[in-house]
């Protein structure tokens, strides 16, 4: 039906995880739509990214130039739109990141192709893509279809598709092309990366999170849970009420107004499970919830649940640890 393109995203000399997440989903879509998977890589000279990407795609289309080493929406929009207009891919996937939110709308205007943003799933219906999006702060999932078009643009939410560690690899080809000589000068210049709100820890990279909510009771009680997290080799995170009370800094917060996380294990202690929080843990592997309220919404999404006092459970766990 048509090829599927993924726009690779990189930063500070590393391919970002969202790229591999999109490639995992794109491989599945290629089977559905009978297409070939191509990665579009715009990078600086001798970036070394192409070999790694070729393991997960049928083709890597590479443009290397020092002007492309860091993201610049003026140059990237020009380059990607030319490729789309020349090669006519059926689907073009971009991350719903600072890159994608800047690039995708401009591409839609330039190419005239329809755009769906912040998608958590992509399916097929009647030979066209259908996307799933969260609305009302994650409380409702909406199913969005497109009018018929020669191609479609989609931005994908980080953490929506988690490739397994043993994801299949393929020996894809690498096709290098020269940057067009008539590429216009960018109207803006990259100065530096400034990480905002990173804080002392990055909960988005943690494999094991111990998360606390309103049920912790008082700020002084956090030390008990922090000790448990340290013994378990976990990272401490929290729900919004804990941050609102200034008990923990914002960079610990999970949820729609915090960060989306995807740990292998998520231990929720005293968290009720409001939809804003649950929306931030959709990428988690195993969710374990502890709450005195048997009707707490968190139990609807938990793989394992304990209806008991969180401090009793925390103490029992500590006794089992060295």
- If asked whether residues 254 and 151 sit together in one domain, one would say no
Question: Residue 192: its pLDDT value, please?
Answer: 81
Domain contains 197: no
- If asked whether residues 92 and 224 sit together in one domain, one would say no
- The mean pLDDT value for 107-127 works out to 94
Question: Residue 188: its pLDDT value, please?
Answer: 82
Domain contains 188: no
- The mean pLDDT value for 5-9 works out to 97
Share of the chain above pLDDT 70, in %: 96
- If asked whether residues 291 and 244 sit together in one domain, one would say yes
- If asked whether residues 23 and 133 sit together in one domain, one would say yes
pTM, rounded to two decimals: 0.77
- If asked whether residues 92 and 211 sit together in one domain, one would say no
| Nearest CA-CA partner of 237 in 262, 209, 261 | 209
Question: Residue 104: its pLDDT value, please?
Answer: 97
- If asked whether residues 212 and 140 sit together in one domain, one would say no
- The mean pLDDT value for 175-191 works out to 88
Question: Residue 170: its pLDDT value, please?
Answer: 74
- The mean pLDDT value for 125-136 works out to 90
- If asked whether residues 163 and 56 sit together in one domain, one would say yes
Q: Per-residue b/e over 66-89, b at no fewer than 16 CB within 10 Å? A: ebbbbbbbebbbbbbbebbeeeeb
- The mean pLDDT value for 86-112 works out to 95
**168: helix, strand or coil:** coil
Q: Are strands 235-238 and 173-177 parallel, antiparallel or unpaired?
A: unpaired
Domain contains 195: no
For residue 249, the enclosing domain spans 203-319
- If asked whether residues 156 and 271 sit together in one domain, one would say no
Tens-place pLDDT, residues 66-91: 999 999 999 999 999 999 999 999 99
- The mean pLDDT value for 277-284 works out to 87
Residue bearing the bigger pLDDT, 49 or 166: 49
Rounded CA-CA distance 222/139 in Å is 29
Q: How confident is the model at residue 205 (pLDDT cuts 50, 70, 90)?
A: confident
Domain contains 220: yes
- Whether residue 1 has pLDDT greater than 90: no
Question: Residue 234: its pLDDT value, please?
Answer: 96
- If asked whether residues 17 and 143 sit together in one domain, one would say yes
Question: Residue 166: its pLDDT value, please?
Answer: 63
Domain contains 276: yes
Q: For the chain, count helices (H), then strands (E).
A: 9, 16
Assign residue 269 the CATH number of its domain. 3.40.50.1220
Q: Are strands 14-15 and 140-145 parallel, antiparallel or unpaired?
A: unpaired
Number of domains in the chain: 2
Domain contains 198: no
Question: Residue 136: its pLDDT value, please?
Answer: 76
Question: Residue 140: its pLDDT value, please?
Answer: 80
Q: How confident is the model at residue 199 (pLDDT cuts 50, 70, 90)?
A: low
| Nearest CA-CA partner of 45 in 171, 173, 176, 174 | 176
- The mean pLDDT value for 110-118 works out to 96
Average pLDDT, the chain: 91
12-16, 240-244, 278-282, 293-297: least confident range: 278-282
Domain contains 196: no
Domain boundary residue among 136, 159, 177? Answer: 177
- Whether residue 130 has pLDDT greater than 80: yes
Tens-place pLDDT, residues 221-264: 999 999 999 999 999 999 999 999 999 999 999 988 788 898 99
Question: Residue 137: its pLDDT value, please?
Answer: 65
Question: Residue 60: its pLDDT value, please?
Answer: 96
Angle at 168 between CA 164 and CA 169, to 5 degrees: 125
- If asked whether residues 98 and 234 sit together in one domain, one would say no
Q: How confident is the model at residue 187 (pLDDT cuts 50, 70, 90)?
A: confident
- Whether residue 197 has pLDDT greater than 90: no
CA distances (Å), 56 to each of 40, 110, 171, 173, 298, in order? Answer: 12, 29, 8, 10, 36
- If asked whether residues 112 and 247 sit together in one domain, one would say no
- If asked whether residues 162 and 253 sit together in one domain, one would say no
Question: Residue 163: its pLDDT value, please?
Answer: 76
- Whether residue 162 has pLDDT greater than 80: no
Domain contains 48: yes
Assign residue 108 the CATH number of its domain. 3.40.50.620
Domain boundary residue among 177, 195, 216? Answer: 177
Rounded CA-CA distance 103/253 in Å is 28
């Amino acid at each position: 039906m048509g090829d599927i393109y993924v726009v690779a995203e990189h930063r500070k000399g590393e391919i970002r995880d969202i790229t591999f997440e999109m490639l995992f989903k794109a491989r599945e879509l290629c089977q559905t739509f009978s297409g070939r998977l191509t990665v579009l890589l715009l990078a600086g000279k001798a970036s070394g990214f192409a070999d790694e990407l070729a393991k997960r795609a049928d083709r890597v289309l590479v443009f290397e130039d020092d002007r492309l080493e860091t993201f610049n929406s003026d140059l990237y929009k020009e380059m990607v739109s030319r490729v789309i207009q020349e090669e006519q891919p059926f689907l073009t996937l971009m991350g719903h990141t600072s890159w994608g939110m800047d690039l995708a709308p401009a591409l839609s205007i330039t190419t005239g192709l329809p755009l769906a943003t912040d998608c958590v799933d992509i399916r097929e219906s009647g030979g066209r893509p259908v996307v799933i999006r969260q609305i009302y702060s994650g409380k409702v999932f909406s199913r969005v279809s497109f009018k018929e078009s020669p191609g479609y643009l989609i931005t994908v939410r980080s953490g929506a598709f988690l490739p397994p560690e043993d994801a299949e690899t393929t020996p894809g080809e690498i096709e290098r092309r020269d940057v067009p000589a008539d590429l216009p000068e960018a109207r803006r210049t990259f100065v530096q990366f400034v990480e905002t709100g990173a804080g002392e820890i990055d909960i988005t990279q943690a494999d094991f999170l111990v998360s606390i909510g309103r049920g912790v009771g008082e700020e002084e009680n956090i030390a008990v849970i922090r000790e448990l997290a340290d013994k378990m080799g976990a990272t401490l995170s929290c729900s919004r009420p804990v941050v609102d009370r200034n008990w923990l800094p914002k960079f610990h917060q999970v949820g729609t107004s915090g960060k989306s996380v995807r740990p292998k294990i998520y231990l929720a202690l005293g968290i009720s499970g409001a939809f804003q929080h649950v929306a931030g843990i959709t990428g988690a592997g195993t969710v374990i919830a502890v709450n005195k309220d048997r009707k707490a919404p968190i139990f609807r999404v938990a793989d394992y649940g304990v209806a008991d006092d969180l401090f009793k459970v925390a103490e029992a766990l500590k006794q089992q640890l060295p």
